[in-house]
Amino acid sequence: MKVNQWTIGLAAAGLVTLAPAVLAQSAPAAAPAPATPPTPSLLTALSATTISGYVDTSAVWNPGTGNANPAPYAFNAGKQDGFNLDSVVINIAKPQDETGWSAGYDVELSYGPDAIGTDGSDYPVRQAYVAMHMPLGNGIDWELGRWDNLLGYESNDSYKNPNFTRSYGYSIEPTDHTGLNATYKFSDAIALELGAVDTVTTEPFGGFNARSGPGNTVVESKKGIVSLLTLTAPSSWGFLGGSTLAAGFDHGQGAYTHDKTEWYVGVTLNTPITNLTFGASFDAVDHFDIAIPADVDVGYVESFAGYGSFKLTDKATLNGRIEYANGSLGALSLADNGVFEPGFNKVIAVTGTLQYALWANVTSRLELRWDHAADGSSPFGGTVAGLPGDKKNEVMLAANVIYQF
């Protein structure tokens, strides 16, 4: 479970009493009976519970006319030329204390159009799992239930990412899994996550407890495998200390008649310049499939992305991303919106983001993005969704404001 630094533990039932004046107004004829105090076990459970979340909003402008076929990266459809409530997320959790045989839980509820794209058929539940700690060796942490995908440079939570818009690499990854995951830290430098899940199908076509097999039938013994190995450079490596290299894969049944494998490698690199960091990622999926139209296996899709971040001042940070994605014919268009656009299989995307901390607890960003079809096609624009577009390029300017509580 990842708990952000702005999380505030809130007391619940039994931890607040009414003022005497209020009690007197509600029962003027007689003194109120003493309230029954909550049991110690209830107080203990509530005091350890945290409530956090965020409200994610944006305003988007795409210069020019005809935006019926927007670039098919995650959460881009339907946001052109207007104001948007992207998502509202509420997280209720009791983190395990990682000592002894301890346990906790996490429930994350998400609402709004981005939430529907992330949660799929399980909307509004994004995560819900029991966390358990075993004091074996350096400690094993288990998560049983539904939890965020292990792979990827970018998070389901927008404010954790360097940019407002998502990459194509994020768009082709699963968003979450239902299964059992184990995390073990061999040392401060080496950590391994390994899990068994019902299916590796990308949301929104997976869903809670989804079990798919050949012909969309259940195979009793067939499960997916998910994994991530993370290496962290020690502080003795000088300016490289804290840099990370992560690599992992998912493998299991896809949506229909074939197995599916997803590969990921990501690196974050500190530099001799204190405020400058770089990153890079590689994502690839074979037997990339989609549920609309049914039973379509479009082959493969892959993404190469580079990231850069420079902290200008204590409040201002400049983030950049450049990405090249390609795949089998039509694979990129199917990645997010389910619309097959003939000929579209190569794209270059360049994104620049200025983030400024003007208000407390608020992430505010101004972003400029350019997507270019590098295969000679014109997949963007047009006036009717699903029909061929008339633009090789899409330009977007967005303002993003997120309040975290």
Range of the domain at 342: 58-404
In a domain, 220, yes or no: yes
In a domain, 170, yes or no: yes
pTM of the model: 0.82
pLDDT computed for residue 334 by the predictor: 57
What's the CATH code of the domain at 230?
2.40.160.10
pLDDT computed for residue 20 by the predictor: 37
pLDDT computed for residue 122 by the predictor: 75
pLDDT computed for residue 28 by the predictor: 41
pLDDT computed for residue 345 by the predictor: 87
What total number of domains does the chain contain?
1
In a domain, 22, yes or no: no
pLDDT computed for residue 244 by the predictor: 97
pLDDT computed for residue 96 by the predictor: 83
pLDDT computed for residue 243 by the predictor: 96
pLDDT computed for residue 271 by the predictor: 96
pLDDT computed for residue 211 by the predictor: 57
pLDDT computed for residue 91 by the predictor: 96
By the 8 A CB rule, do 311 and 354 touch? no
In a domain, 45, yes or no: no
What are the pLDDT digits (tens) for 22-80?
333 334 444 455 555 555 555 555 668 899 999 999 999 999 888 888 998 999 988 99
Residues of the chain predicted below pLDDT 70: 1-47, 121, 200-221, 253-258, 289-298, 330, 334-343
In a domain, 378, yes or no: yes
By the 8 A CB rule, do 301 and 263 touch? no
pLDDT computed for residue 172 by the predictor: 86
